[in-house]
Amino acid sequence: MLTKIISTSGGQSKHLIAGLEKLQEAQRQVDELSKEANGKKKLLSKSQVAAKQAMQLIQVSMEKKAARKTEVESLQQNCAHDEQVIQKRRTMVEHELSSIMPEVEEAKEQVGELKPSNLNEIKAFRMPPDAVSHVLAAVMQFMGQGDTSWNAMKRFLSISGVIQ
């Protein structure tokens, strides 16, 4: 039928054939572009899934970061509070120490006046007076000695450098 129309139409048939060829070429291009668009659509879909997963990871990371920031701020507040408490305690201890220091200095002077003969006299006791025993026990405990028996006290007094 197409051939019949072409033979009867004369010069118009060439235009019709050219138009038909153009339409067929356009159809091929549309088909190619459709295939290409479908491929890109699939690629876009995969990219969107990957982007969504990346956004979820970013969101989780941001939530963790926010939680850590809150924790750090809380720790900083706790540290600031603890620092204030420590500073108050330090001030109290320094005040207490300043009132005790004259006594400590006086005790140092008195200990400095001890002579080895004084220590030998104390060691010679079969059993020391309670005052001597209490003072030596306190000194030994202060110096980290656990055993405060009379024999341990005599050994302690025998150590060179006890009265320095």
Residue 19 within a domain: no
Contact by Cβ (8 Å): 130, 87: no
Among residues 110, 113, 91, 92, the alpha carbon closest in space to that of 102 is found at: 110
The range of the structural domain enclosing residue 124 comes to 114-158
Does residue 134 form part of some domain? yes
- Is residue 139 a part of any domain in this protein? yes
Specify if 132 maps to a domain.
Answer: yes
Copy the structure tokens of residue 77.
């507040």
Is it the case that residue 164 has pLDDT exceeding 60? no
The string of DSSP letters for 5-62 reads HHHHHTTHHHHHHHHHHHHHHHHHHHHHHHHHHHHHHHHHHHHHHHHHHHHHHHHHHH
At residue 162 the predicted structure's pLDDT band, cuts being 50, 70 and 90, is low
Q: How many structural domains is the chain composed of?
A: 1
Q: Is residue 120 part of a domain?
A: yes
95 assigned to some structural domain: no
Highest mean pLDDT among 48-62, 95-109, 111-125, 134-148: 48-62
Q: What mean pLDDT do residues 63-78 have?
A: 95
Say if 2 falls within a structural domain: no
Q: pLDDT digit string (tens) for 73-88?
A: 999 999 999 999 999 9
Task: For the full predicted model, state whether its pTM sits above 0.75.
Answer: no
Is 77 part of a structural domain of the chain? no
